[in-house]
Amino acid sequence: MGGLAESPTEDLGRLLPAPPARRDRRRLPWALGGLLVLLLLLGGGLYAVAPLRDPLPAPTVELTLPASMAIPGTAPRLPWPRSGQAMISVDGLGTLGAFGGSKPLPIASVTKVMTAYVILTEHPLAAGEQGPKLTVSAAQAAAYPAEKARGESLVEVRAGEVITERQALQAVLLPSANNMARILAAWDSGSVAAFVDKMNAVADDLGMSDTHYTDPSGLDPDTVSTARDQVILASRAMALPTFAEIVKQKQATIPVAGTVRNYNELVGRNGVVGIKTGSTDEAGGCLVFAAVLTVGGRKLRIVGAVLGQPGANTPVQLDRVFAVTRSLLRSTAAALAVHTLVEAGEQVATVRGPLGAGSTINAAEKVEVVGWPGLRVRLAAQIPAVSSRIAAGAEHGQLTATAGVGKPVVTTLRTGAAMEPPTTWERIRRHR
């Protein structure tokens, strides 16, 4: 017989489907929390990406040096004369000082600077060239005795005498021959009067607003000018090589008169290279002068004028004007020096990058200029555009310093500390 029969209940369990599993209600809050976190992360990511889409602002450069600055120190005080007028100028730098106002004064034989200037601009001479020949007329020679009787400054001339343009200019500029000034004037313009008109036209063109010429020699006291105007003319005249050659001579040899000497006893001393004396009772002692000084390895031409120095006669008047000029030149030489305006490494500009980044732009070398305390110097920085990434010590632009109208002094500029663009994380943090 078989074994025991299976239970009816077990049979029924095999026949009926299993009941569904019971859900765990405790998992629902966790699922909702995870979904919320996911949404927050997605939203935060969108928020973080937003500033990365915007371009970075370009760095800015702000100059820390002024557009100009005065050479530090006390401005020089020059030993001006007690009377008359005076002015000192340095070619390329400007006027060092002036005295006596701007009232036109008689200038005596200083007038001959304009006479020679007009002749040489109308009839230029190359270095050492004698130029065209002039012939002294019978009338010009016949006037010599009367001119001598008046006590004029002259060179002896004879009818039919042949003299070159250079020799005639030597007679005018060295022994200050009035008669040769008139002979040159008539040779150039046909008459003395026509030449005087030309002198005044040139003065107007040069900006000599307080000057009026009535004769080519300066004997007429109605020929008047100022120290300022004569400095203007002297600077232009000294730019003519032949003029500069002649006024630097202590003597020369010309026909008939023979050896003639330069009245300007300062020539060849203390750097003096010219230019012209003058003296009459009305004008007193006058001198327009030029000197060359070496400062910091650079040659500077000093041009000045002293007018109206008192004295009983020509020797006394000229002694007085020579003494004043020597003092002015000594003080000028003492005032001129090399001055440092910007030190090596000194900051020239500030660089401001995006999100607080920054650097500087500095002078690679010191900036030195020749001048005197108080002289104003123009500063100009040429700085190319700056990117958001710059290396330390990289060459970047230049600084130019210009005193007067002289040659500019240029130095290289270099970056200071390195500057990097902000990282992505820095941009996100700054945006938040």
Quick: pLDDT tens for 317-373: 999 999 999 999 999 999 999 999 999 999 999 999 887 788 999 999 999 999 999
For residues 50 and 431, the answer to whether their CB atoms sit within 8 Å is yes
Longest dimension (CA), the chain: 188
* Contact partners, residue 298, CB within 8 Å, separation at least 6: 370
Tell me how far apart the alpha carbons of residues 100 and 283 are, in angstroms, rounded to a whole number. 14
Count, residues in the chain? 432
Q: Is 2.60.410 the CATH classification of the domain at 60-71+340-431? A: yes
Cα 324 → chain centroid = 28
| Predicted local distance difference test score (pLDDT) of residue 388 | 85
Do 60-71+340-431 and 102-335 come out as alike in CATH topology? no
Q: Which helix (H) or strand (E) holds 182?
A: helix 178-189
Instruction: Provide the pairing of β-strand 133-135 with 105-106.
Output: unpaired
Write phi, then psi, for 370 (nearest 5 degrees). Answer: -95, 130
- Using DSSP, state whether 422 is helix, strand or coil: coil
State the virtual CA torsion across 142, 198, 169, 102 in degrees, nearest 10.
110
> Can you name the residues that pair with 68 across neighbouring β-strands?
378
Q: What string of pLDDT tens digits covers the 432 residues of the chain? A: 444 444 444 444 454 455 555 555 555 555 555 554 444 444 444 445 555 666 777 888 999 999 999 999 999 999 999 999 999 999 999 999 999 999 999 999 999 999 999 999 999 999 899 999 999 999 999 999 999 999 999 999 999 999 999 999 999 999 999 999 999 999 999 999 999 999 999 999 999 999 999 999 999 999 999 999 999 999 999 999 999 999 999 999 999 999 999 999 999 999 999 999 999 999 999 999 999 999 988 999 999 999 999 999 999 999 999 999 999 999 999 999 999 999 999 999 999 988 778 899 999 999 999 999 999 999 999 999 988 888 999 999 999 999 988 889 999 999 999 988 877 766 666 655
Element housing 244 (H / E):
helix 241-247
Cα of 225 vs its chain's centroid, Å: 27
Token digits of residue 430: 């700054």
Q: Give the pLDDT score at 27.
A: 57
Measured distance CA(22)–CA(391) in Å, rounded = 69
The residue extents of the domains of the chain are 60-71+340-431, 102-335
- What is the amino acid identity at position 327? S
Q: In terms of Cα–Cα distance, which of 333, 375, 306, 314 is closest to 73?
A: 375
Cβ(348)–Cβ(342) below 8 Å? yes
| Catalytically annotated residues | 109, 112, 176
Four-way CATH pick for 102-335: 3.40.190.10, 2.102.10.10, 3.40.710.10, 3.30.70.1350: 3.40.710.10
The response to whether 299 counts as a known ligand-binding position is no
pLDDT of residue 353: 84
Give me 143's structure tokens: 């006037």
- Cα separation, 26 vs 7, whole angstroms: 38
Contact 202, 118 (CB under 8 A): yes
Who's near 204: CB < 8 A, 6+ residues apart? none
pTM of the entire structure? 0.81
pLDDT of residue 6: 46
| Residue in 372, 417, 377, 383 with CA at minimum distance from that of residue 401 | 377
As a whole number of angstroms, the distance between CA 392 and CA 416 comes to 5
> Whole-angstrom Cα distance, residue 229 to residue 212?
10
